[in-house]
């Protein structure tokens, strides 16, 4: 079968993860071009992965290279325009989360993709992580009975890039860091969120020179689902102890925990007063290494077999709607129904 010819749009942090999957792990895909208006970033990433065709805009790449698909790894505020351009050119789209800034943008992306008969897969790699996907299958098989309550956390190290600190360009950490939690709790609980209440705090920003309006680095959200069950999401970024992503689900018959703090199966003891030492995950590419490879494998397989990817526009739209409701909740200091932002 002919390899799927891919253009990576955006050459930053997420781009490198997908470039590594495509060039080192997945012969079904061929990374043939990279686009980034920032010349130094473009050169560094293209050099690292040996990609010759380099462009400052997606339009130039579409004009000069034969492509089957694009992988969009740019800041959130650029997603809608780039995805619509790619869809109009008839290219399948792998789109990093969050799908877009607004529901209007989500709808435009979904509509143009459907009109042009191209697939759209969202970058929710947790659905392809071996632990998360096994947990989903075991919930479906009824091992813990009907899920009643979910607690999901993502705590990430390092200040997010400037565009990701600003509500206007990213919708803030609840989108940038916790889109995965929003998607996972809805997927694992088998119900859409109905109402959310968010508290946020800026506990580290000023000490680290962040002056962006409405910046927050800690958040807790309480969620009520349409089926009456409950959940919460915990968000910290920057988190100084490492990368931490875990979920606990309590069902009618039992409890399920997904993920752990321990980043290696190596335990060291050199001092009985300090006890056992085992490293935590340092970064998201390390924690979800298999999820990133398997989600891209799924995208290539979807194109090759002409089968729609299993995570798409509707999932992306629900995550964006949840973020918009939670953002309105902390700005207006009240619980917000999803129907208020989806109307
Ligand atoms: N799935 C995940 O776990 C995960 C992890 C990190 C980031 N992301 C997502 O990936 C996206 C990018 O995040 P990042 O951390 O890599 O950001 P980044 O700032 O490191 O990189 C973004 C790059 O996009 C480039 N860019 C901006 N506008 C562009 C345009 N119009 N065309 C082409 N390139 C353009 C920038 O110059 C920059 O090099 C975001 O949507 C983010 O939420 C997902």
Same domain flag for 228 and 326: yes
Residue 200's DSSP bridge partners are 219
SS3 per residue for 132-182: HHHHHHHHHCCCCCCEEEEEEEEECCCCCCHHHHCHHHHCCHHHHCCHHHH
Same domain flag for 223 and 167: yes
pLDDT tens string 19-63: 999 999 999 999 999 999 999 999 999 999 999 999 999 999 999
Q: CATH number for the domain including 85? A: 3.40.50.720
Residue 220's DSSP bridge partners are 199, 234
Whether ligand 1 lies within 6 angstroms of the CB of 231 is answered as: no
Whether ligand 1 lies within 6 angstroms of the CB of 7 is answered as: no
pLDDT tens string 288-328: 999 999 999 999 999 999 999 999 999 999 999 999 999 99
CA 28 / ligand 1 centre spacing (Å):
24
CB atoms within 10 A of CB 87: 25
Same domain flag for 267 and 149: yes
Whether ligand 1 lies within 6 angstroms of the CB of 176 is answered as: yes
Q: CATH number for the domain including 280? A: 3.30.360.10
SS3 per residue for 178-206: CHHHHHHHHHHHCCCEEEEEEEEECCCCH
Nearest residue (by CA) to ligand 1, atom 7, is 14
**pLDDT interval class at 1 (50, 70, 90):** confident
pLDDT at residue number 41: 98
What sign does the dihedral 308-123-285-189 (CA atoms) show? negative
Q: How far apart are CA 197 and CA 125, in angstroms?
A: 26
pLDDT tens string 225-245: 999 999 999 999 999 999 999
- Our mutation pick for probing the ligand 1 site, out of 8, 9, 14, counting the most ligand atoms within 8 A of Cβ, is 14
**pLDDT interval class at 343 (50, 70, 90):** confident
Burial 32-43 (b: 16+ CB within 10 A, else e): bbbbbeeeebbe
Q: Are 52 and 61 in contact (CB under 8 A)?
A: no
pLDDT at residue number 67: 98
Whether ligand 1 lies within 6 angstroms of the CB of 291 is answered as: no
pLDDT at residue number 334: 98
Q: How far apart are CA 9 and CA 100, in angstroms?
A: 15
74: nearest Cα among 119, 34, 116:
34
Interval 144-163 mean pLDDT: 96
Same domain flag for 335 and 296: no
Q: How far apart are CA 181 and CA 174, in angstroms?
A: 9
Q: How far apart are CA 289 and CA 15, in angstroms?
A: 14
pLDDT tens string 105-137: 999 999 999 999 999 999 999 999 999 999 999
CA 270 / ligand 1 centre spacing (Å):
41
- Our mutation pick for probing the ligand 1 site, out of 75, 100, 281, 323, counting the most ligand atoms within 8 A of Cβ, is 75
pLDDT tens string 249-266: 999 999 999 999 999 989
Residues sharing a CB contact under 8 Å with residue 248, sequence separation 6 or more, in sequence order = 150, 151, 255, 256, 257, 258
Exposed (0-12), middle (13-18) or buried (19+): which is 1, by Cβ within 10 Å? exposed
Same domain flag for 162 and 266: yes
CA 187 / ligand 1 centre spacing (Å):
25
Whether ligand 1 lies within 6 angstroms of the CB of 13 is answered as: yes
Same domain flag for 253 and 335: yes
Same domain flag for 166 and 49: no
Whether ligand 1 lies within 6 angstroms of the CB of 338 is answered as: no
Same domain flag for 120 and 195: no
Same domain flag for 20 and 119: yes
pLDDT at residue number 21: 98
CA 273 / ligand 1 centre spacing (Å):
44
H or E, element range at 14: helix 13-20
Q: How many domains does the chain have?
A: 2
Q: Which range of residues forms the domain containing residue 168? A: 127-288+319-342
Q: How far apart are CA 74 and CA 190, in angstroms?
A: 30
Same domain flag for 162 and 77: no
Same domain flag for 94 and 84: yes
pLDDT tens string 93-111: 999 999 999 999 999 999 9
Whether ligand 1 lies within 6 angstroms of the CB of 45 is answered as: no
Nearest residue (by CA) to ligand 1, atom 18, is 12
pLDDT tens string 262-281: 999 899 999 999 999 999 99
- Higher per-residue confidence, 1 vs 332: 332
Q: How far apart are CA 137 and CA 230, in angstroms?
A: 20
pLDDT at residue number 257: 98
Whether ligand 1 lies within 6 angstroms of the CB of 76 is answered as: yes
CA 70 / ligand 1 centre spacing (Å):
14
Q: In what order do the strands lie in the sheet with 230-236?
A: 255-258, 244-251, 147-155, 230-236, 218-225, 193-201, 336-337
Same domain flag for 148 and 253: yes
> Residue 295 carries which DSSP code?
H
């Amino acid at each position: 079968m002919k390899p799927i010819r891919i253009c990576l749009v955006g050459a930053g942090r997420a781009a490198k993860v997908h470039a590594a999957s495509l060039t080192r792990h997945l012969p079904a895909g061929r990374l043939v071009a990279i686009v980034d208006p920032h010349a130094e970033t473009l050169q560094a990433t293209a050099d690292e992965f040996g990609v010759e065709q380099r462009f400052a805009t997606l339009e130039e790449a579409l004009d000069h290279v034969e492509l089957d698909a694009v992988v969009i790894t740019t800041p959130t505020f650029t997603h809608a325009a780039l995805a619509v351009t790619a869809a109009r050119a008839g290219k399948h789209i792998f789109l990093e989360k969050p799908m877009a800034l607004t529901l209007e943008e989500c709808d435009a992306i979904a509509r143009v993709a459907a009109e042009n008969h191209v697939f759209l897969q969202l970058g929710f790699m947790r659905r392809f992580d071996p632990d998360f996907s096994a947990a989903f299958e075991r919930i479906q098989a009824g091992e813990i009975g009907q899920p009643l309550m979910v607690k999901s956390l993502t705590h990430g190290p390092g200040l997010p890039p400037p565009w990701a600190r600003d509500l206007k360009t990213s919708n803030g950490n609840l989108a940038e860091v916790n889109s995965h939690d929003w998607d996972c709790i809805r997927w694992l609980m088998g119900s859409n969120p109905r109402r959310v209440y968010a508290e946020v705090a800026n506990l580290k920003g000023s000490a680290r020179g962040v002056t962006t309006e409405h910046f927050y680095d800690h958040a807790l959200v309480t969620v009520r689902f349409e089926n009456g069950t409950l959940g919460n999401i915990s968000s910290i970024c920057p988190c100084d102890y490492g990368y931490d992503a875990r979920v606990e689900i309590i069902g009618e018959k039992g409890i399920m925990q997904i993920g752990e703090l321990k980043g290696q199966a190596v335990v060291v003891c050199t001092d009985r007063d300090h006890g056992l030492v085992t490293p935590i995950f340092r970064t998201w590419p390390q924690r979800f290494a298999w999820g990133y490879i398997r989600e891209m494998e799924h995208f290539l397989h979807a194109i090759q077999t002409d089968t729609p990817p299993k995570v798409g526009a509707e999932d992306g739209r629900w995550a964006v709607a949840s973020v918009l409701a939670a953002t309105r909740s902390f700005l207006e200091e009240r619980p917000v129904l999803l129907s208020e932002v989806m109307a």
